[in-house]
Amino acid sequence: MEYLFVHFSADIQAHVLLDDTDIGLVNKTLRVSAGFHTITLKTDFTFYPCLHEILIDNTSYDCPLEITFLDKDPHSP
């Protein structure tokens, strides 16, 4: 098993989708299977980027793979 931590605004509750399957909430360490995955969020709020396509491998609970979604597009005015 591998571990993933998805950072997102602490003020917004969002679910993490791993290959379109809900695996839990943001800002928590989540247990996932190794391999290539598409990560996105399920929330009513806009976020950026719309997804991460990543390889999850060689992680541990104490050292998960960390990714970040922003609650707005940094390229927007």
> How far is the C-alpha of 38 from the C-alpha of 18, rounded, in Å?
6
Mean pLDDT of all residues in 47-73: 94
CA 59-61-65 angle, to 5 degrees, is 45
pLDDT digits (tens, 9 = 90+) for 12-46: 899 999 999 999 999 999 999 999 999 999 999 88
